[in-house]
Structures are given as C-alpha cells and as structure tokens.
Amino acid sequence: MGFEAQPGEILGLIGTNGAGKSTLLKILSRITRPTTGRVELGGRVGSLLEVGTGFHPELTGRDNIFLNGAILGMRRVEIVSKFDEIVDFAGVENFVDTPVKRYSSGMYVRLAFAVAAHLQPEIMLIDEVLAVGDAEFQKKCLRKIGDVARAGRTVVFISHSMAAIEALCDRCLLLKGGTMVANGATDVVIAGYMASMAQWQSGTVSLLHHPGRTGRSDRSMTSVTLAADGTEPASTMRMGGTLTVKVVFNSARPVLPVIGVVLKNSHGIAIFGVNNKFLAGDQFKRTASGTISTTMRDLPLYPGNYSLDLYFGDGADDIDIVCDAVSIEVLPADVFGPGQQPPSGTGAIYWPASFALHDGASPTCQISNVMK
C-alpha cells in the first residue's frame, strides 16, 4: 500500500511509538533503505529527524549552515542571502561561531529547523523534535511550516500533538506496526486513532511501556490513577464533577516534582491544561519517588470521551511526557435542573451564565444557569 504527497501539501503521520513513523521518514530521506518497494522523490529533501542529525558537532553554527546548504546543492550566494534570516529565526546570534556540540538541545533544534525551513528544499521532513523547543518557538515553527507549504513545497510532518496535526494537515496517515492502516481526511483519521486508544480507559494505567511516551522521555512516571466523584479508580465521571489525577513516579535522581495535565476531546484537540510549574515558588521538596496529584473541580465538560496527556518535570524542565496516557468518559448529569441537559455539539464545554430581560432602565427578570 503506497501514498503520494503533492507540492503545497502538509501530510501528517500519526501513530503510537513503534508504529514506523520515524523509520518511514528515514526511508524518505534515504538514510535507511526500504526492505521492499521504492520511493520516488521529485526535488531536494530537507530533513529534521532527531537532535544530532545533519550537523557536524565540531563545526560552528555558521559552518553547519553552509555545510547543510551545500548538501542540498545550493550555491554559496544563495546560502549567504538566507544566512541572517536563519540566525535570527533560530535566535542563536551570540553563538553562531560556537561549535554546535556546546549547544543545548533547544538551541540545536532551533538552528536545525531554521536551516531546514529557510534553505528551500522542495520536500521537508519533520519528526517530533519540535517538542524540544519552548512554546513560543513551537508556534513560530508551526507558522513557518504553513508558509513553506503555501510556497508550493511538500511537508511530511510527524507529531504526537493531534492539535498540531489537525491545525496544519488536510490529510494524514495512521501507521501501526509498520503498516499504513488509514489514509484520508485529518479529522476522520484522528477520530479513528483516538477511538483505538480506548484500551487506556481503565481507571489505573501502567506507564512503564505506554506507547504514547515521547522518544526523549526518561520514563520517570510509572502509573496513573484517576479518581472521580468519590470513586477510585474511575473510568467515568459526571458532567460538572471533580477529577483527580494521581501519578506515581520513580526518578533516577531527586527532582523538584512538577505535574502537567492536558485534557483533550475525542478529536485530540486540547480543551485545557493545568500545571504546577506556573505557580509561584517551589511547592514541593526534592524527592526521587512518590505520588504527585492534581484535582480539577466543577469540570464543565459535555458527555463524551476525553484523553489526558501527562507531563512530568523537574522544576521548569519536562523530563517525561506520555500522550493519551489515560482516558475518561464523561456521563450526562442534571447539572442545571430540573432534568435539563445542554445539547451536544454546541461547543467543547458548557459554562454557567446569567441572563436578564430589561424593560427600560431596570431589569424586569433575571435568571441564571448556575450549576447545581
């Protein structure tokens, strides 16, 4: 079973870890030879596959920009015309003459992406490495990817972020065990993928070998348990209820534990996130193991299935990330009474509000739908 990607198209690749996404990109970039079949490429290929790929560690950032341009077949005058734009985009002005082996992983990825995006390959291959950058740089990258496609170039994009895939890609492929199991409209393929993750809908899930863990995580998180409305473990909760997420961790060294939870709907779109790294001060003591939890009250969620991404950190640094770690089903409830339930399809969440009818200067009638 094969596929094609056209000029101006951003093709998404999704699937659990081990599905074959990165291997496929290595085949497309001619790093790995296919065991069967063939690849036909119409143009120069720029690859951003993993930290460390494509740069010579002993060379400076400046030297690596020119080296990568030469590998792509660009003339020196073409590279010079893009040089300042690349350095500015990557934000490495003060380190451009420093050997890249001294760069942090974030600096490395910023420069690697800037080179791949600005040296104008006809085909651009991007793996999950953008997760290394900070949130603002990730936004810059996503905007740049859109610009690259609008310029008529082809982008093949891997991400565990279904929101990023859905925002950028009109079409995506779902891989499983090295086989393409779906190829179609992004929203349809994502919905099928999220449904296939329903096996993680038990109230307690082991995270030791979870397929949603991102590649550079250190596997600190060992399990997650959900508690809802007095039930533990819980695989369901009521509309407007309280949800507690408890994560057991065991790190190789003492850490300042931080937990982040992103709740997503059945299409993989993030509804909200909570994270104690944004709170002032150090809330917890350093420890190598324990259980860290967060409680979210009065959740205004419509009935349906939701999944949770987990981020475990040492202070400001994320060290273990598991996407779609566990899911929860929200059940209908009489939150407004008597017997009235918000209709589905009117938004991601419902929200309490008050209403007034005015006759002249003063309201003649006031009502509210404050939750019971």
pLDDT tens-place string over residues 35-45:
888 888 888 88
**CA separation for the pair 198, 240 (Å, rounded):** 22
Choosing from 165, 196, 227, the residue where a domain stops is 196
What residue has token string 């000029």? 7
Choosing from 161, 196, 231, the residue where a domain stops is 196
Domain containing 124 equals 10-196
Please determine, for residue 103, whether its predicted confidence score (pLDDT) is greater than 60.
Answer: yes
**CA separation for the pair 236, 226 (Å, rounded):** 9
Does the residue 336 lie in any domain? no
**CA separation for the pair 48, 111 (Å, rounded):** 10
Does the residue 370 lie in any domain? no
Choosing from 296, 313, 331, the residue where a domain stops is 331
Does the residue 91 lie in any domain? yes
Say if residue 64 is in the same domain as residue 181.
yes
Does the residue 142 lie in any domain? yes
Lowest mean pLDDT among 50-59, 221-230, 264-273: 50-59
Say if residue 191 is in the same domain as residue 217.
no
Say if residue 189 is in the same domain as residue 210.
no
More confident residue, 24 or 162: 24
Q: What is the pLDDT of residue 49?
A: 73
**CA separation for the pair 298, 239 (Å, rounded):** 8
Lowest mean pLDDT among 9-18, 75-84, 86-95, 128-137: 128-137
**CA separation for the pair 37, 287 (Å, rounded):** 51
Say if residue 26 is in the same domain as residue 156.
yes
Please, are residues 130 and 159 in contact by the beta-carbon 8 Å criterion?
A: yes
**CA separation for the pair 241, 198 (Å, rounded):** 21
Domain of 71, CATH number, reads: 3.40.50.300
Say if residue 86 is in the same domain as residue 235.
no
Summarize the confidence of residues 282-309 as an average pLDDT. 89
Say if residue 168 is in the same domain as residue 54.
yes
Say if residue 51 is in the same domain as residue 124.
yes
Q: What is the pLDDT of residue 51?
A: 55
Does the residue 158 lie in any domain? yes
pTM of the model: 0.58
Q: What is the pLDDT of residue 246?
A: 96
Query: What is the percent of the chain with per-residue pLDDT over 90, rounded to a whole number?
Result: 30
Does the residue 339 lie in any domain? no
Say if residue 275 is in the same domain as residue 324.
yes
* pLDDT, averaged across the chain: 83
Per the DSSP assignment, residues forming a β-bridge with 99 are 60
Please determine, for residue 194, whether its predicted confidence score (pLDDT) is greater than 80.
Answer: no
Number of structural domains, the chain? 2
Please determine, for residue 371, whether its predicted confidence score (pLDDT) is greater than 60.
Answer: no
Does the residue 342 lie in any domain? no
Q: How many CB atoms lie within 10 A of CB 261?
A: 21
More confident residue, 105 or 362: 105
Summarize the confidence of residues 345-357 as an average pLDDT. 75
Q: What is the pLDDT of residue 372?
A: 45
Lowest mean pLDDT among 140-154, 186-200, 252-266: 186-200
Say if residue 189 is in the same domain as residue 212.
no
pLDDT digits (tens, 9 = 90+) for 116-129: 788 778 898 888 76
Domain of 274, CATH number, reads: 2.70.50.60
Does the residue 367 lie in any domain? no
Say if residue 21 is in the same domain as residue 65.
yes
Say if residue 211 is in the same domain as residue 183.
no
Query: What is the percent of the chain with per-residue pLDDT over 70, rounded to a whole number?
Result: 86
Please, are residues 262 and 280 in contact by the beta-carbon 8 Å criterion?
A: no
Say if residue 255 is in the same domain as residue 134.
no
